[in-house]
């Protein structure tokens, strides 16, 4: 980042599902500017499994009558673009939450050959190859080719977590030509390529090209200024490099990239930064955990150690420091909320 911006996460997990978020945001623009906010991190802007989905169950590009409504939880694309225009008018940058690990809410099931794997060691196969039926067909009937005519099927995914045929929930690795878990992902659980829903296969050339075009669409049509990558440790690192380079090369303005690589280990973080050629900034997860520990053990915490093994200590130029976010708030999977001291 060229400047030391104050980025505000402009959403949390439990916002009302009333479709008024973008309208509210437009009304708050001047107040945000007056309070020194330089950039906003907005929630996922695409259509998800339903309007109550915060956006991480990503389905389609948005503004089509599907999954129960035209709008997302936050409003319509036109309302989003109006809010972004108002933010830009007050010199506030807009960073979109980008979900590229998986797709959800498929339009139909398909049969495919798969192998069940151990949930705690994805490299350990626990079944023979067999036919399963899963939700991997995306033809987006309401889109009718607008923005993109690409349709997804099981060849475009590497894994799923449900066999409709047997009614069984497990992790299944899809079998086929050049099909295997991705390289360049976290080695947790043996290989942490698979996270949830239908896991995208970046080795497939058509998938690779479609997602690069989607990145440019976000910049050109929605007019975002940057991207926050979700779930980076589950996505092939080489693809992230390709994606960033493509968006940069096809944009006529500077686009800022930062992401969530949720580890509390500076060696793994350093390795990821090296593999991605330092193309993306990262959240400082270690600093967040230090702040959380300090807030719950204030009487005994040694503040001289708050920066030990943090990203801001190792790589201050690419560290995005934060206190809390939607994942660390109470009730969420990574709950580690920084307490208020009184």
**Residues known to be catalytic:** 230, 260
207-214: which pairs have CB atoms within 8 A and are 24 or more residues apart?
207/156, 208/239, 208/242, 210/148, 210/150, 211/100, 211/239, 211/243, 212/242, 212/243, 212/246, 212/247, 213/148, 214/61, 214/148
Q: Which residue has the tokens 């296969």?
A: 201
Q: Which long-range contacts (CB under 8 A, 24 or more apart) does 291-298 make?
A: 291/323, 291/338, 292/328, 292/336, 292/337, 292/338, 292/339, 295/338, 295/339, 295/340, 295/341, 296/339, 298/341
For residue 241, how far is the Cα from the chain centroid? 15
The residue written with tokens 């949930």 in the block is: 119
Q: How far apart are CA 280 and CA 232, in angstroms?
A: 10
In sequence order, the β-bridge partners of residue 117 are 125, 171
Q: Which of 71, 39, 36 is CA-nearest to residue 52?
A: 71
- The answer to whether 223 and 193 are in contact (CB under 8 A) is no
Report helix, strand or coil for 174. Answer: strand
Sign for the CA dihedral angle at 46, 47, 51, 53 comes to: negative
Distance CA 145, CA 14 (A): 33
């Amino acid at each position: 980042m060229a400047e030391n911006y104050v980025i505000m996460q402009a959403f949390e997990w439990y916002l009302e599902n009333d479709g008024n978020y973008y309208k509210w945001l437009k009304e708050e623009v001047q107040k945000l500017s007056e309070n020194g906010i330089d950039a906003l991190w907005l929630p996922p802007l695409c259509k998800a499994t339903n309007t109550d989905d915060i956006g991480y169950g990503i389905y389609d590009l948005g503004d089509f009558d599907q999954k129960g409504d035209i709008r997302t939880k936050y409003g319509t694309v036109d309302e989003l673009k109006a809010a972004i225009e108002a933010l830009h008018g007050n010199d506030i940058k807009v960073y979109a939450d980008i979900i590229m690990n998986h797709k959800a809410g498929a339009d139909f099931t398909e049969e495919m050959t798969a192998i069940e794997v151990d949930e705690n060691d994805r490299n350990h196969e626990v079944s023979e190859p067999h036919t399963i039926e899963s939700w991997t067909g995306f033809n987006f009937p309401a889109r009718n080719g607008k923005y993109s005519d690409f349709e997804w099927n099981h060849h475009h995914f590497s894994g799923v977590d449900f066999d409709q045929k047997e009614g069984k929930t497990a992790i299944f690795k899809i079998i086929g030509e050049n099909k295997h878990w991705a390289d360049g992902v976290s080695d947790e659980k043996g290989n942490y390529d698979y996270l949830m829903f239908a896991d995208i296969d970046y080795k497939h050339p058509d998938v690779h090209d479609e997602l690069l075009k989607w990145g440019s669409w976000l910049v050109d049509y929605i007019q975002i200024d940057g991207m926050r990558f979700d779930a980076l440790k589950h996505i092939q690192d080489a693809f992230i490099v390709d994606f960033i380079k493509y968006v940069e090369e096809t944009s006529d303005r500077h686009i800022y990239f930062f992401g969530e690589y949720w580890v509390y280990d500076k060696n793994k973080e350093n390795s990821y930064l090296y593999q991605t050629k330092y193309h993306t900034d990262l959240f400082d997860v270690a600093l967040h955990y230090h702040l959380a520990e300090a807030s719950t053990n204030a009487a005994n915490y040694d503040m001289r150690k708050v920066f030990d093994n943090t990203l801001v200590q190792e790589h201050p130029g690419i560290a995005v420091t934060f206190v809390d976010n939607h994942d660390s708030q109470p009730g969420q999977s990574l709950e580690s909320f920084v307490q208020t001291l009184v």
